Chain A
Amino acid sequence: MIGKNDIENLSKLARIELDEEEKKSLAEDIEKILSFVEQIKEAGGEIQTEPAVGKLRNIMREDKNPHKKGIHTEELLETAPEREGAYIKVQKIL
């Protein structure tokens, strides 16, 4: 049973603000979805940690020939919500 406490805990973990009404409707939806996906408990299969498809391969390159310093700086900074000079501006962390 997914209760209001569980939803509030998930909201904290996922860092998503919710209003009271949505806490209720999300609890119902998640309850419904979880009971649907729980069908897989009837299936066989060995629990494993390796993925079935999409194995990642490290792609290495020589540590040389870097791109010219600063050529992407401006276009990347332009996408930031707030900046100060060549820095992305955020609120105080500590």
Chain B
Amino acid sequence: MRPFIKAENVVHEYSRRDEEGNVTDINRALDGVDIEVTAGDFVAVLGANGSGKSTFAKHLNALLVPTEGTLYVDGKDTSDHNNDLKIRQTAGMVFQNPDNQIISNIVEEDVGFGPENIGVPTEEIWRRVEESLKNVEMYEYRKQSPNHLSGGQKQRVAIAGIMAMKPNCIILDEPTAMLDPEGRKSVIKTVRELNKKENITIILITHYMEEVTAADYVYVMGSGQIKMRGTPRQIFARSEELTKYKLTIPEVTKIALELIKKGIQIPKDILYVEELTNALLKLKMHQ
């Protein structure tokens, strides 16, 4: 099967210029990134501030294009501007700050903005608005002003706005950074469901470790490169390496590792509270 996203040695340089337009400073934000994402996958990208993960995200719907290397989204080269519109329809993007991406006074109009701009017929727009608002469980708020929604609800409206354009893939760049625990949970739940039920490819960029446990595959970025790749269990079993990239492991994994250090025999790739407590209770029973 053809990969949905294929990055080959992608390099991106931000250059700063003086008044005459001469380059004075070059910052290599991406330094040879290779990634392949299969359609329908839930992929998480972890990385410290400044590791290049947002720059990479912006490449996925051609907001930025590689300085070197190539990136294909759904088989289309993002460097070719003729592909821009198609790529942006197939790969939608949700940003960190919900307040920066909502533009209408009424929720349903905001969701309809995307499909309207790509020339979807009116009845079809309304059908899609209804469907996508139901998908993110925001249908009952459709006539309200987005101003009165919580952060998590606003992010779900933003996701519905992307869904209404019928993308194959949604890229979320730290969608929960500004939300409270409840809002975070609701956004992550929505994203998971879209992945499972609608088979939407998800690229989730975050530095909350608890959010990536459900991903099929995790990439860890550092200094513009992919430093680690694997399933969440494989990644979190390598805690020392993660610390090197200014990341950490979930608290419960940390507890498990501390116990192993003390000679307790439990698996070292524990990700959930129940998993740890079950393993411990079993151990106690056999004593």
Are A and B part of the same complex?
no
Residues of A within 8 A of B (CB): none
